[in-house]
Structure 1
């Protein structure tokens, strides 16, 4: 795949700075590129040479209708694929696919497809968030060998990154609406396609959206996360609470679980790294949620550069309330007829497990969308350096709230033939609810105990 030479050089420079402990932010003249030659979030504003990637143009909040449940209309519903990548023609497109995507065609030659549509680059966030991002470019610095941040506001600390760890931090801290409640489902199909739906009620609240947040004393919290399982009956009522810290080496993530059988709350240090994901039947790790989360300290992160790639984007069809979960979840992989891929520029970062550290994934390859800083594809390798699991995130712009985020995360196990599909809400009572108010008292172990009783 074609790499950007300048970005490769920048990656080498960034790693050099990281090794010497010099954690420099960009200059004011560099930051002035945000909103001019770069988008306000740091992507290249211009399209590519043949216009197969267009120039960035922010999507208006009125891009489509919003129904009574909060679900969004698909602004691109009338579009048809430009072409479809199949096992029979994949070789001609291989240079714009991640190795994991290519491997899916080999694993499922008769059913896996990638329909490629016209690219639309419209992702944006509210003006106050954009202003914070520009301040971050000048003031935010890495601390403790890249494991923490100082002088960080709201979202995206490094819109003009110079190292792999900075790119990954942008994914970890990206804007997700400030506060969000969501009713979502998870399926972990067997190779024959049989599955049972697990339902979750989630709440995310980022620190600066708490009513009792003190900007003069921000502390080490990044966000608060609460999750309750509501179905099936055998799992219903169990709950999880996470206090996500910015520097998890200095102060590890705090997590608690509520067990319905014991009617008690206990600390849960296993909710991190490669601990098992909630109710996932062993198909994902804790740090697979949101494609990747948590402390980056166990990996050496190397910036390879930027490249053009076909990634899931504008995936409104997968969020359509006219389809059922059974329409989405199929044997081997989700229904490719409901997916949409576009040619985009992505940042490529490799994560290699450090000597002396342990994790079931010895290596990860991140492909992160330049427009949103969201991981679009992550390839996972086992201890033998064999490609094991392939993660894809099917994203949309929640345009009415100016929030780029996922509608479904998938994690395919190439070895077992199983996979996980997380985030579906087509059959639920409401779409994501952004912007609610909260206090830290609602995210305590005692509050978890009171809310977890069946």
Structure 2
């Protein structure tokens, strides 16, 4: 974590030509931990008192430890619904909803939003606070905003000056350093029927590999990712491996798939942008995963500003192991009985497809939580400018390991009435496994071939 990552080689040449001065002064950076949280959110609550002041969040030092750190206990079991937003009272709350959320109410009479007390539970490990502050004073955008230099581990721009910086904070946000998930993806048909796709995946930052980051082998690498599908039978053994690059314009994402039917590993250049994702029934693009991922170069990004939005938060009920997937999946949308929404401040960033660039989404608007830097809601528009898909991330604080992350993400197709939910674990024996030690060889093509078999 202490090894400062610098993009070298070709990127260094690019840095000279196209660096964007994004660094803040030491005086500005000193706000982190004082009037701002250590990762850049406003500490103060809002004027109405509906968003409280930040007091440190839930951490491994102030919250009773769970029996299972991968599926933590609900710290607020006695919280009651303050009010419920429905189609009938929608007009009262439109100012704090995204256009996509409003469209969900208008399309589905059964759609509702149970709103709870706002609790700012997010917290990062204390060991990252100084890293994030150093990044604020040193990190820079390169390649016209499509890459980073002088960046270490996570959150390059805690005090962002433009839209690209906010996007990079989402892309690089902390997700435990090394994490394995056992999860289920459910493409739901318009009538609510589904066939679950079970998988496990693994996400590891180079800093958390055995031996840490290697300046040469990990040059321009943000993280390593591995995914293996275990059900249904027709997809069992299909595996994906990604070496995620920082600057994907100069060096494209490196991806390989193991196809169980062909029994061979092949490069997968289409695992990016709007390329199709395996096991999703055509409901999700490659860059829809984790709400938004990959190179931001195909869009012109505009920072609209901050606003207060009702977003999924502290969604511990979605991990309820007494619930079955059939209890959660309903026609049109997830069962609201298991959902929790709160009012939080978000960064609003609008991406418009560049002239001559190709993508099925002509525009996407991201609403990014200030306390975690995770995209919480994203509205997607088609080539005609009409709302098409609405994404929501259902987040919790994994307080045993000081990590905010989602327990599920849902992507709703307003045209077809279908949707896809990724990350559910209710019927799985375990969900998250933190801190596994891995060698770099675990993310090689030979390892992928062995895993697939």
| Aligned match of 1:350 | 350
| 8 Å Cα contact 1:64/1:73 also seen in 2 | no
For 1:242 and 1:263, the matched residues in 2 are separated by: 18
| 8 Å Cα contact 1:41/1:130 also seen in 2 | yes
Shift of 1:337: 1.1
Residue by residue over 1:96-122, the C-alpha shift from the partner in whole angstroms, topping out at 9 and shown as x without a partner, is 00000000001102x100111000112
State the Cα RMSD in Å.
1.3
Q: Say yes or no: does 1:92 pair with 2:92.
A: yes
Residues 233/69 of structure 1: CA separation in 2 closer, same or farther (3 Å cut): farther
For 2:160 and 2:314, the matched residues in 1 are separated by: 25
Q: Say yes or no: does 1:55 pair with 2:91.
A: no
| Aligned match of 1:192 | 191
Residue by residue over 1:258-304, the C-alpha shift from the partner in whole angstroms, topping out at 9 and shown as x without a partner, is 01111100000000000011210100000000000000000001000
| 8 Å Cα contact 1:177/1:434 also seen in 2 | yes
Residue by residue over 1:334-385, the C-alpha shift from the partner in whole angstroms, topping out at 9 and shown as x without a partner, is 0011100001000000000001100000000000000000000000000000
Residue by residue over 1:53-80, the C-alpha shift from the partner in whole angstroms, topping out at 9 and shown as x without a partner, is 0011221325345235842111111111
For 1:375 and 1:32, the matched residues in 2 are separated by: 26
| Aligned match of 1:385 | 385
| Aligned match of 1:155 | 154
Q: Say yes or no: does 1:418 pair with 2:423.
A: no
| Aligned match of 2:21 | 23
* 1:220-259 map, 5 Å: 220-259=220-259
| Aligned match of 1:171 | 170
| 8 Å Cα contact 1:71/1:431 also seen in 2 | yes
For 1:70 and 1:178, the matched residues in 2 are separated by: 14
| 8 Å Cα contact 1:183/1:200 also seen in 2 | yes
| Aligned match of 2:116 | 117
For 1:35, which of 33, 36, 39 is the aligned residue?
33
2:422 alignment partner, SS class:
strand
TM-score (norm 2): 0.94
Query: When the two structures are aligned, how many residues end up with a matched partner?
Result: 434
Residue by residue over 1:234-270, the C-alpha shift from the partner in whole angstroms, topping out at 9 and shown as x without a partner, is 1101100000000000100010000111110000000
Residues 68/176 of structure 1: CA separation in 2 closer, same or farther (3 Å cut): closer
* 1:405-444 map, 5 Å: 405-444=405-444
Gaps of 5+ in 1: 1-18
| Aligned match of 2:333 | 333
1:400 alignment partner, SS class:
helix
* 1:303-382 map, 5 Å: 303-382=303-382
TM-score (norm 1): 0.94
* 1:245-324 map, 5 Å: 245-324=245-324
| Aligned match of 2:14 | none
| 8 Å Cα contact 2:139/2:148 also seen in 1 | yes
Which runs of 4 or more aligned residues in structure 1 lie more than 6 Å from their structure 2 counterparts after TM superposition? Answer: none
| Aligned match of 1:9 | none
| 8 Å Cα contact 1:69/1:429 also seen in 2 | no
